[in-house]
Amino acid sequence: MLFACSSKEKPTLGGTRIKTRKRNIAAPLDPAAFSDAVVLIYLDNAGDLELVAKSIESSDLNFSRYGDIFFEVVFIGGRTQTGSVKSDEGERHPYSIIDCEPKREAILPSVVYIQKILRRRPFLIKNLENVTRRFLQSLELFEENERKKLAIFTALAFSQKLSGLPVETVFQPLLKDNLVAKGIVLSFVTDFFNEYLVENSLDDLIAILRRGKMEDKLLDFLPPTKRTTESFAEHFTKAGLSALVEYNEKKIFEVKLKEIKAVLTSQVTEEINVDEVIETVKQQVKDAKLPEIEVVRVIWDGIMDAVQWSGKNQQQNANAVLRQVKTWAPLLNTFCSSGKMEMELMYKVQMQCYEDAKLMKVFPEVVRSLYELDVLAEDTILHWYRKGSNPKGRQTFVKGLEPFVNWLEEAEEEE
């Protein structure tokens, strides 16, 4: 059947906005072609990284999509096989970090080169982080000298403050049980520490470890069967890192002191029997091998930390301190076993009264109480008064102690 054309005017679209659905046309995924293109840039410039960087900057390659692959090419010379760190089929160049000599002068240019790339394309830092983490988690798949190169690169990256690379990216992936157990992690961090300390201080290294939440976990780098302070000291001393050994020993020592003080403060607060507390402290000191001088300091701190302060009322605070001293004098007496230890206690009392404004006027009363309780000897007090070497608040404390010292001297003359 034929239809006749209608003479009626057809509606028009003039002035009407038609909403059309935008099609999301994806660029073809071709990581192999991207990898080959980057490799070609390296080859065309014979590995001259300055020229490579310029060519990279002027290229229209899709770095936002293939950032990880770019850094694979930088590190190992080509795209990696799935689930591996070895090169996949395709083009490869011989100017990668893995192909360098395991020396800072050979690897440093790659760090500078990456820095240039990141300045122009800062979004690539995430890709660098991804690839670095993946390679560190797979250290066992690299040869020993290749791991050394990665350690040197990582140390130089932090030494040169490579833009935005998080410290956690390095240290956290290393703590895989299998890597630690095989000693691979210990070898890696040893190379890392040595390289980083070439141009940086131990304090700088500790700051990095702190940011990576590893400052208090240095022993975790050692295999479980060798995870002792003695093994740590032996290994890193042989590696020429005695300063790190000293730091670690100091850190462990500080942790032990904190633990002893915390236990002591808790026992004092709970008003545990003095004899029981003395035995606990003796055992802790024996286990921790603490020097006497530190024991005296930590005992005083532990006792004072348990004091219930009364705001700004100086008399109440003074009474609280004196009650505490009287109660725990047997504990102090047990460990103030020589004139040297007594003098250390006096200096400790002096420092606390100097640093805590509410105790400035309490010093003479505390010293007199410690004398009456047989914790401090007359000779110790007189020596401090006449020849004490700590200047903190000394003038004020000497003046406050003068009446008591005069009494001691008069008693001495009468005898």
Q: In this predicted structure, what is the pLDDT of residue 309?
A: 79
Three-state SS at 182: coil
Angstrom distance (rounded) from CA 71 to CA 94: 14
Q: In this predicted structure, what is the pLDDT of residue 371?
A: 96
DSSP string, 99-151: TS-SSHHHHHHHHHHHHHHHHH-GGGHHHHHHHHHHHHHTGGGS-HHHHHHHH
Handedness of CA 369, 372, 373, 379 (dihedral sign): positive
Q: In this predicted structure, what is the pLDDT of residue 220?
A: 94
Find the helix packing angle between 49-58 and 31-44, rounded to 10°.
Answer: 130
The residue ranges of every structural domain in the chain are 31-200, 252-413
Q: In this predicted structure, what is the pLDDT of residue 388?
A: 86
Note the CATH number of domain 252-413: 1.25.40.180
pTM: 0.73
Q: In this predicted structure, what is the pLDDT of residue 83?
A: 65
Q: In this predicted structure, what is the pLDDT of residue 414?
A: 65
Place of tokens 């791991």: 147
Q: Which residues contact 325 (CB under 8 A, 6 or more apart)?
A: 303, 332, 366, 369, 370, 373
Alpha-carbon distances of 63 from 60, 89, 122, 256, rounded to whole Å: 8, 20, 11, 51
Q: In this predicted structure, what is the pLDDT of residue 70?
A: 96
Pair 62, 45: CB distance under 8 Å: no
User: Each residue's pLDDT tens digit in the chain (415 positions)?
Assistant: 333 343 444 444 444 444 444 434 333 458 899 999 999 999 999 999 999 999 999 998 999 999 999 999 999 999 987 766 776 677 899 999 999 999 999 999 999 999 999 999 999 999 999 999 999 999 999 999 999 999 999 999 999 887 677 888 788 888 899 999 999 999 999 999 999 999 999 999 999 999 988 888 899 999 999 999 999 999 999 999 999 999 999 888 888 899 999 999 999 999 999 999 999 999 998 888 888 899 999 999 999 999 887 766 778 888 899 999 999 999 999 999 899 999 999 999 999 999 988 888 899 999 999 999 999 999 999 999 999 888 998 999 999 999 999 998 887 666 6
Angstrom distance (rounded) from CA 383 to CA 403: 15
Paired tokens of 337: 């076993």
